[in-house]
Amino acid sequence: MVLEAVIQTYVATAQPAGSRQLARRFNFGVSPATIRNTMSDLEEKGYLFHPHTSAGRVPTDVAYRAYVDTILPAQTFTNQDRDQLALEISSGGSAVETILRRAAQSLGIITQELGVALGPSFDASRLDRIELVRLSSDRLLVVISVQGGGVRTIYIDARGEIADGALAEVSHVLNERLGGLTLREVRSSLAQRLRDAPAGAAELINVFVEEGEHIFDVALDSANDVMLGAASMLAGQPEFANVDSMRRLVALTETRQYLAEVLRKRSDSSGVSITIGNEHGDPALENFTLVTAQYRVGSLNGVLGVIGPARMPYDKIISLVTHTSQLVTDLLD
């Protein structure tokens, strides 16, 4: 009860919580001295710490983890938030990127954190069809369609002029031998599956074998696939009042490729994923909490959520992230 009270007080005020303050605000039925002793015990166990000479205490990452796992009250948010999310995300176009960008922006505004979203991962999706389109005598457009409706295009250069017969033969071989496999399986077994290709198509087939990692690496983990809300939502919070903290925030928002890699690792996790401070195991994220949930686009999936300081209203944010992921899934279904 005391740990929950400290966390709720610190989340609300951004100031260390003292025993007298807790005794006045919460009806524990015990004296401030008893609360102070309990806070001392919690500090010895690693749940609280003194940020300076103040008598008040602040939750640690361990405290927030205990709160999220065992103490968190029922998840809830207002009808106004629900209606605002539905209105913002569903208006203005139905393209996946557009919906995700609006979701990140809306989450950021409502939670006052940094909203984030990552485009769907194609890596575990199954190949439906490959089309080869001639652009010039020695250049092709490869159109890769996956089950569920996703499409990606790649340009490749052949070694010399490509005959029409070879183009049709390669297209047939690729679809016959690779269709139905996941893109991950395609990349790992491409050379073996194409090793006895017809002689007339050997030269172009070799291009696919040698460049297969690039051609079929359409997992959408590039920097352009990360959508962010407004960093100003975080910039106004006390945790980012000093220059060093602000520098860390700016660096995080500017390294889109890094963020894509972090988010991609969470895309296969169902439900809500919460990583707090040092749990990231990465200095670049040790001052941040990341709350994400998976959304789905047919057979594909991605993640969206928020980044903020450890001091955040977890009950509200978890509810909003969960609801938004389902809302996005419904819109993209």
pLDDT tens-digit profile, the chain (333 residues): 999 999 999 999 999 999 999 999 998 999 999 999 999 999 999 999 988 766 789 999 999 999 999 998 877 778 888 888 888 888 876 677 888 999 999 999 999 999 999 988 777 678 889 999 888 878 888 898 877 666 778 888 877 787 888 888 889 999 999 999 988 888 889 889 988 877 777 888 888 888 888 888 754 445 457 899 988 888 888 998 888 888 888 888 888 888 888 998 888 778 899 999 999 998 889 999 999 999 987 767 889 999 999 999 999 999 999 999 999 999 887
pLDDT in tens, 169-190: 889 999 999 999 988 888 889 8
pLDDT at 223: 45
Looking at the chain, the whole-number percentage of residues with pLDDT higher than 90 is 42
Q: What is the DSSP letter of 75?
A: P
3-class DSSP state of 299: coil
pLDDT at 224: 58
Fold of 127-215: Enolase-like; domain 1 (3.30.390)
Q: Closest by alpha carbon to 145, among 118, 120, 180?
A: 180
Domain ranges for the chain, please list them: 2-71, 79-121+221-332, 127-215
C-alpha to C-alpha distances, 102 to 89, 93, 98, 116, 259, nearest whole angstrom? 5, 10, 6, 10, 18
pLDDT in tens, 233-249: 888 889 988 888 888 88
Calculate the average pLDDT of the chain: 87
pLDDT at 220: 43
pLDDT at 148: 65
Question: Which amino acid makes up residue 252?
Answer: L
How far apart (Å, rounded) are the C-alpha atoms in residues 70 and 61? 14
pLDDT in tens, 45-69: 999 998 876 678 999 999 999 999 9
Question: Whole-prediction pTM value?
Answer: 0.77
Give one word for 286, left, alpha or beta, with left for phi > 0 and alpha for psi -120 to 50: alpha
How far apart (Å, rounded) are the C-alpha atoms in residues 322 and 309? 19
CB atoms within 10 A of CB 131: 15
What is the second-level CATH architecture of the domain 79-121+221-332? 2-Layer Sandwich (3.30)
CATH, domain 2-71, list 3.50.50.60, 3.30.2130.10, 1.10.10.10, 2.40.50.140 = 1.10.10.10
Q: What are phi and psi of 119, to 5 degrees?
A: -60, 160
Q: Which two tokens stand for residue 281?
A: 């195991």
